[in-house]
Amino acid sequence: MQPSGLFWNRRRFLQGLTIAGAACTAPGVFAQKLIETATTTEGPFYPDKMPLDTDNDLLILNDAITPGVGQVTHLSGRLLSAAGQPIRNAFVEIWQVDNTGSYVHTGGRQPTGHDKNFQGYGRFLSDSKGQYYFRTIKPIEYTLINIFRTAHIHFAISRSGKRVFTTQMLVAGHPGNARDNLTQRMDKAALATILVDFKPMPGSKIGELTANFDVVLGKTASEGEDGVLRGVAAPLSRRNP
């Protein structure tokens, strides 16, 4: 069971998004198509064993009292088509490292240990406005399997049981971006679509942050039985964790 405060935060954020996005979804606003969000590799550390809790609050595992360690971040946004229409009932998944740089994956743990209180993975079904919400921590940079990665959160979008989109959300202005293999291989226009500002949450007494990441999908994608994504841009190397 989740704390009642979390549900209140979720309602507040989604209501705020609805008000802010009302003008953007009004008829006639989209004279041109939106810029599609760049796709990237899924990476090798999608959970190989799901945590006991897979909801949208990554800070609390089930009824645990101790939260995960990190800078609390309220992550929200919308799923939109290139024409600006909301994509509802889409399955949004995120996964990221904890404050030690470890994933919820048997091959993605740091040898020095990991945060057993951090969920590391969450899921959310987009609402009628295409909105989603997660409570998590601000991502950090790390090195795993001798590969440096800048701070990021993995995103995957599925519809009707099929994966249709995969990307990684990066922290705008993070110093690690300049030496990250993925960012170095992307052109500036594509990179700009996945860079997100993390801002102080107004009124927070514990230093919480907010981050908004609207995901604009291109034409409908499908995933064949061979596991190859079709209908989206070809992902970069899977060696980018």
Residue 107 lies in a domain: yes
Q: Which position among 105, 142, 159, 163 bears the catalytic label? A: 142
Tell me, yes or no, whether 115 lies in a domain. yes
What are the distances in angstroms from CA 100 to CA 69, 90, 96, 175?
9, 31, 11, 18
How many beta carbons lie within 10 A of that of residue 229, not counting itself?
19
Structural domain count, the chain: 1
Q: Residue 72's pLDDT is what?
A: 97
The whole-number pLDDT of residue 102 equals 97
Asked if residue 146 is part of any domain, the answer here is: yes
Task: Look at residues 224, 218, 202, 179 and name the one whose alpha carbon lies nearest to residue 83.
Answer: 218
- Radius of gyration of the chain, Cα coordinates, nearest whole angstrom: 17
| Residue 154 annotated as catalytic | yes
Judge whether 52 lies within some domain: yes
How far apart CA 183 and CA 40 sit, in angstroms, is 10
b/e for 122-150, b at 16 or more Cβ within 10 A? bbbebbebbbbbbbbbbbbbbebeeeebb
Is 105 one of the catalytic residues? Answer: no
Answer whether residue 19 is part of any domain.
no
133 in a domain, yes or no? yes
Among 103, 121, 132, 133, the active-site one is: 103
Residue 232 lies in a domain: no
Active-site residue (options: 74, 105, 149, 163): 149
Evaluate whether 159 touches 90 at the Cβ level (below 8 Å): yes
pLDDT in tens, the chain (241 residues): 334 344 444 445 444 544 444 444 444 444 458 999 999 999 999 999 898 899 999 999 888 889 999 999 999 999 999 999 999 999 999 999 999 999 999 999 999 999 999 999 999 999 999 999 999 999 999 999 999 999 999 999 999 889 999 999 999 999 999 999 999 999 999 999 999 999 999 999 999 999 999 999 986 444 333 444 343 433 444 446 7
Is residue 241 in some structural domain? no
For residue 125, what is the enclosing H or E element? strand 121-125
Look up the CATH number of the domain holding residue 101: 2.60.130.10
- Inter-residue contact 74 to 64 (CB < 8 Å): no
Domain of residue 189, residue span: 4-13+32-221
Tell me the CA distances in angstroms from 195 to 68, 152, 169, 230, one per residue in order.
24, 9, 6, 24
Global pTM? 0.81
CA dist., res. 63 & res. 208, Å (int):
22
Catalytic-residue membership of 74: no
149 is catalytic: yes
Which entry of 109, 152, 159, 174 is annotated as an active-site residue? 152
Please report the DSSP string for 1-42 in residue order.
---HHHHHHHHHHHHHHHHHHTGGGSTT--SSPPPPPPP---
- State the catalytic residue, choosing from 10, 78, 135, 154: 154
